[in-house]
Structure 1
Amino acid sequence: MFQQAAVSSLPIFLRQKEEFSQYTRTRTCRLDVGKTQSILHVLGTTLKASLNRSAPPKTKYFSVKCTASVQYIISPQPEAPFHLSPVSLKDNSVLLITMKQASDHENDNKLSVWYYGADKNVLDRAILHLTAVEICLDVDADRDGVVEKGNPNKGTWNWGPQGHGAILLVNCDSESRFRKRLDSERDHILHLSDVRDMSPMIVRTKGPAKLPVGYKLVLHICQGDGEKIRVFTSRGEHYPLVLSSADLSSEIPYLGSAEIKFYVEGLSFPDKDFDGLIRISLSLLEPICQGIPETPIFTDTVVFRVTPWIMTPNTHRPLEVFVCSTKDNYKFLKGMKSLVEGNGYKLKICYEYMNRGDRWMQDELEFGYIDSPHHSFPVVLDSPRDQALADFPYHALLGPDFGYVTRVPHRKDVSSLDSFGNLEVSPPVTVNGKDYPLGRIIIGVAFPTTSHGRNMTKVVQDFLRAQAVQEPIALYSDWLEVGHVDEFMSFVPAKDRKGFRLLLASPDAGYKLFKGLQNDGNGGAKLFEGIPGEEQISVDEILDNKQLQDENNYVQSCIDWNRDVLKKELGLDDEDIIDLPILFKLVETKGHYRALAYYPDMVNMIVLGKNLGIPKPFGPKVNGSCVLEQEMVSLMGNLGLTCTFINDFASYHKLLGEVHCGSNVRRSPFEFKWWNMQM
């Protein structure tokens, strides 16, 4: 029946006090004198009752009795061991109550407080009938792919290898191959495989077969999070929707000692107005009486962070190469097929019925991926350029375990800088002691002092910055007619130094090479030999053209400005950079002078491991060999890389693009897990 607590000695009381320190959640409860109360207690929490507030008038002392599974301490601590003796009542006397284990039956434990007058006569007593339940909302907070029980850090997010917090995928693929639609746009789970794209969450309970009458368990989210996630549960072969923007809370059944599985679906990537953090709570509601709303007496909360969209650099292993087939790019396709398939990679061709004459595969999309401890898959980012290739990313790529995301500008202010030849990513770098294990995104914008310049549209820039794990770098690219960073830079793998080299177009290197030819008596060698209809020009004529020299001095100054930015933002030395001999020319468009490559732009290449697909430059020949090709072979050969020169002159170069512009590569994801970053 009842027993006096802490009757043996003071050390027992102190041990109890240490045990109580683990209970961080405290709930105030009333003691009603002269009546019996039924209290539902959640294990891991503490009930706090004011002894003085409920005491009868003229109370001077009190004592406490309880059954074996109930624990309590008195605060402030009595000055001496009280054993069975009544304790002096103070204005701030408080009783802290916990229980050791879940109840088998309702009201199977008891606690009573006895109140005494000055002569220690009994004035009255308050009796609590206690039912203990265990309630836990659990996720994979330690990021090992398993939903562990009761992780103390599940309610917060921390970056790093010792961090914590669950991870949520964006369900942006489509399990249906025939009726294309993002899974997140459906109001139901179409296939069991769709569950893999969601993060598991478990409600665990332990206790009596049912809760006392009127008590409820409610799963709930805030209104803002309702637009970012949905929650489904499992009922046999069915997966009913539990939480969404239309239903921010839902009562869930209490099944005694049981587990209920839920699946959390991400709907939105991090963005300017969304930091990626999501909170889901489970609350136990207590009834007061008929007609009066229930009140929450316990809440357990978990935190998810939505996975970012991650780009992969040139240094990663190629998985698939994408190109377009058009009526005039046969030579280009032949060269690409030889390069790609000859080195063991997959070539996927987008034919004219889909591309509708739009050959710029790089400009339409960028490949990336999303990752979590339990699942990952590629995701294509569709650019806002929306020309004839606009349908390809959605209709040809979206599918099971292949996601899709895009950002649509608020205004029709899309420029050439919104094409994704203007979106690159560096290999991993360390800058001033700060690690970027996933590299840094690189975009091109207008020069800061230019009021009339073109920029990448704000919604895309906001999206890229919000992913957080590949902090973007803005370069100046508006000086180019097309305006893409891939026209003057690229990355290739290397075995030494930082594991890569930055390649930069360099008019200075071009003029140095041509002056060397002239000094060796080869000034009469001509560019563009063998190209039908193209006017040939000699090295001497190029060097005598002062206007062209001035234009290239301007271009070099623009590239040098970007060179300094890249050295600073990527932590590079001059030894990490290779200058490629490429000349440019200025053209006038709508009153503005911008640059184009004078001959095929060799930096605009495709990188497939150690094999490079480079625009054939049709440079001056000495002893039957193109000196520009020889220079590239020498520079890249020093890195152990092989050069294949692809004829893209008529089908791409003359249309203001090159090999990289006309191709795209899906690459293997990083082995490094983004959640292990030190932010």
Structure 2
Amino acid sequence: MGHRRTLGVDYDKPTSIVCVVGSELNVNLDRSAPPGSKFFSVKCTANVQYNISPPPAETSHLSPILLTGNSVLLISISHASQSEENEKLSVCYYGKNKEVLGTAILYLTAIEISLDVDADRDGIVEKNNPDKESWKWGPNGHGAILLVNCDSEKFYNKKPDCEEARISKVTDLKDMSLMVLRTRGPAQLPKGYKLTMHISQGDAEGVRVFRAESPDVVKNSLRKIFSAFVKDFPLVLSSEVLSKEVPYLGGSAEMNFYVEGLRFPDKDFDGLITISLSLLEPIREGIPETPIFTDKVVFRVSPWIMTPNTLQPVEVFVCSTSDNYQFLKGMRNLVTKSGSKLKICHEYMNRGDRWMQDELEFGYIDSPHHSFPVVLDSPRDGTLDDFPYDELLGPDFGYVTRVAHRKDVSSLDSFGNLEVSPPVTVNGKKYPLGRILIGVAFPTAMEGRNMTKVVQDFLWAQKVQEPVALFSDWLLVGHIDEFMSFVPAPDRKGFRLLLASPDVGYKIFRRLHNDGHGQAKMFDGLNDEKPVTVDEILSDENLRAENNYVQSCIDWNRDVLKRELGLDDDDIIDLPVLFKMKWLNRVVAYYPDMVNMIVLGKNLGIPKPFGPKVNGRCVLEAEMCSLMEALGLNCTFIDDFATYHKLLGEVHCGSNVRRKPFDFKWWNLEL
């Protein structure tokens, strides 16, 4: 029996009680007996079952049974009643000479109550799943799933639906999880009994519950649900209403409730929500009712999930500015080639802020019944700040942000400093959704910059893409996309990690010198940029020392990435990129940083490096093509020199990509 209830009976007068099918009533017979009682006997109607504990010695069922101090009557009913008090059980008490001292009579009304959710995660709300009261990860796990209702059904005067006071449109119900109250019993409950739904104060900030007002809405199709009116779905539970009576419909009935997530997992919220339903029994007027049966269900809020470069692109976002026409032309050609859509943020919206990657990160949330993209808005708050909310938030496109104190926000809070790996396996542990990567200060740094704590706490709390901290504070801008990227590959782990490598850059330049091309020039033909020969680069001892330092920083990260992503050296490709020291002993790319690319399937948009030419071809481009084409990838070089590189960014910094979600379902993760 799932629910047990201790019951007192009265031998002086009949007692009327309500019993829930599937639960058990425990009656201590000695405690309820008249003084001097030594024996008892039990009679009941056919639908009532009982057992006696401890079991009596074998005797005729008509013979009185010896009453002991721990004699307990265990009562259950197998079917719901069709009318009130239609079941009966009586206990007759006897004295030592087996004379009758009194009789306790129970009139029972049995009802079925089941609060149900999609506990087995198949998109169907099954009846009374035994695992509905808990959560378990994994393919054999259980527990219902809840989406944060962070999209907006409105196009004007919009805000996330979870911030609306009520359901604004009935179509909003698809973003919520269905919960069904199933009951069976008489036409009405006995006088004074009632059903209440309730949540704890701790869970109240994370959930709201609405119900379908009309039974017709409950029983009919989604099409009919969506043709109903908003008023047909009143609010039941919220942070202001922790407990509320819900109707008992009588007969065999179902009532639909729609559960709405309000917040993502975070440092102070593990993502678990419990909703309970209780049957309350009256005592007498002026005395509070007592719960005699409680059913509960558990939801876990879907985490926010990032998408790596290896997933298929859907939309590419870039800014249009007064000076980046040539860049946009190159991006249009690349996006057309990849079969994606290009979305341009015009100047009236970006107000001169071209760093689309830094302002936001695309992800998604998922459940068995629905999923949609969700943009994470960074705390950097440049003039592009309104774009994620004003232009992206909408029907089936969610929005989330984390607000930090302005004094805590640094360049490392821009989302060029937030990436995610493809799926990996590390020492036998699988990360089928990859691992989040962030850049921070070196562990020994006393005054280093770090990603703000509220963002880091948020990322860690999602659980499914366990973050890895890299060292990026050595860079002037401080973003990990300045020295690393991922591209798809047909072999090994399905991808390659690309790392910037000054050593590889110097190796190429030394080879050029040895082959007699020492006078070949970097930046040749660029306006407002002085050409520099290969020999001049090789003879610059300060530049070489600076790049030795850079290589040591990248190698430190290389070791972390190998360890935390389970990579071998064959999974890593080093790209020829040099850096130079700027302000505050931090570095920037010496020429356009080819690792800072956009990946659209097999098509790569790479910053044009303007390297030295041999036989009319840029040596750096040729090296890049050789490395990438071996993986079946196509290289497109985009001129971002004046409009991005000179402003300390590149192609990846100036673009962003929304991608298809993983096929893998996060709730199947083994944690």
Classify the TM-score, shorter chain.
Answer: over 0.9
Aligned with residue 112 of structure 1, among 90, 94, 103: 90
Q: Deviations over 1:229-265 (max 9, x none)?
A: 1111112432111111111111111111211111011
Aligned with residue 235 of structure 2, among 235, 238, 241: 241
For 1:414 and 1:602, the matched residues in 2 are separated by 28
- 3-state secondary structure, aligned to 2:408: coil
After TM superposition, list the pairs within 5 Å mapping 1:9-408 onto structure 2: 23-236=1-214, 237=229, 238-256=232-250, 257-408=252-403
**8 Å contact kept, 1:187–1:241:** no
Q: Deviations over 1:287-326 (max 9, x none)?
A: 0001111011111010000000000000000000000010
Q: Quick check: 249-258 or 665-674, which moved more? A: 249-258
**Offset of residue 627 of structure 1:** 0.5
For 2:57 and 2:404, the matched residues in 1 are separated by 71
For 1:130 and 1:337, the matched residues in 2 are separated by 75
Aligned with residue 623 of structure 1, among 611, 615, 620: 615
For 1:358 and 1:81, the matched residues in 2 are separated by 91
- 3-state secondary structure, aligned to 2:407: coil
**Offset of residue 35 of structure 1:** 1.3
For 1:240 and 1:515, the matched residues in 2 are separated by 74
| Amino acid in the other structure paired with 1:371 | D
For 2:636 and 2:152, the matched residues in 1 are separated by 37
| Amino acid in the other structure paired with 1:665 | V
| Amino acid in the other structure paired with 2:203 | D
Q: Deviations over 1:96-120 (max 9, x none)?
A: 0000100011010000111112222
After TM superposition, list the pairs within 5 Å mapping 1:431-470 onto structure 2: 431-470=426-465
Aligned to 1:598: 590
TM-score of the two chains, using structure 2 as the length reference: 0.97
| Amino acid in the other structure paired with 2:193 | Y
For 1:618 and 1:411, the matched residues in 2 are separated by 38
Q: Deviations over 1:366-425 (max 9, x none)?
A: 000000000000000000000110000000101100000000014532100000000000
Q: Does 1:546 align with 2:541?
A: yes
For 1:344 and 1:100, the matched residues in 2 are separated by 61
- 3-state secondary structure, aligned to 2:348: helix
After TM superposition, list the pairs within 5 Å mapping 1:486-501 onto structure 2: 486-501=481-496
Aligned to 2:417: 422
TM-score of the two chains, using structure 1 as the length reference: 0.96
**8 Å contact kept, 1:66–1:112:** yes
- 3-state secondary structure, aligned to 1:177: coil
**Offset of residue 24 of structure 1:** 2.6
The answer for unaligned runs of 5 or more in structure 1 is 1-22
For 1:469 and 1:394, the matched residues in 2 are separated by 25
After TM superposition, list the pairs within 5 Å mapping 1:634-649 onto structure 2: 634-649=626-641
For 2:406 and 2:94, the matched residues in 1 are separated by 77
Identity, % of aligned positions: 72
**Offset of residue 29 of structure 1:** 0.3
Q: Quick check: 610-619 or 52-61, which moved more? A: 52-61
**Offset of residue 82 of structure 1:** 4.3
Aligned to 1:14: none
Q: Deviations over 1:100-157 (max 9, x none)?
A: 1000110100001111122222221111001000111111111111111101110100
For 1:211 and 1:181, the matched residues in 2 are separated by 42
Q: Does 1:659 align with 2:651?
A: yes
**Offset of residue 343 of structure 1:** 2.7
**Offset of residue 58 of structure 1:** 2.2
- 3-state secondary structure, aligned to 1:396: helix
- 3-state secondary structure, aligned to 2:63: coil
May I ask how many residue pairs the two structures share in their alignment?
654
| Amino acid in the other structure paired with 1:226 | A
For 1:425 and 1:522, the matched residues in 2 are separated by 40
The answer for unaligned runs of 5 or more in structure 2 is 215-228
**Offset of residue 88 of structure 1:** 1.1
- 3-state secondary structure, aligned to 1:314: coil
For 1:139 and 1:254, the matched residues in 2 are separated by 19
- 3-state secondary structure, aligned to 1:412: helix
**8 Å contact kept, 2:373–2:398:** yes
**Offset of residue 54 of structure 1:** 1.3
| Amino acid in the other structure paired with 1:233 | R
- 3-state secondary structure, aligned to 1:201: strand
Q: Quick check: 410-419 or 75-84, which moved more? A: 75-84
**Offset of residue 446 of structure 1:** 0.4
For 2:234 and 2:111, the matched residues in 1 are separated by 27
**8 Å contact kept, 2:338–2:601:** no
**8 Å contact kept, 1:228–1:266:** yes
For 1:82 and 1:124, the matched residues in 2 are separated by 21
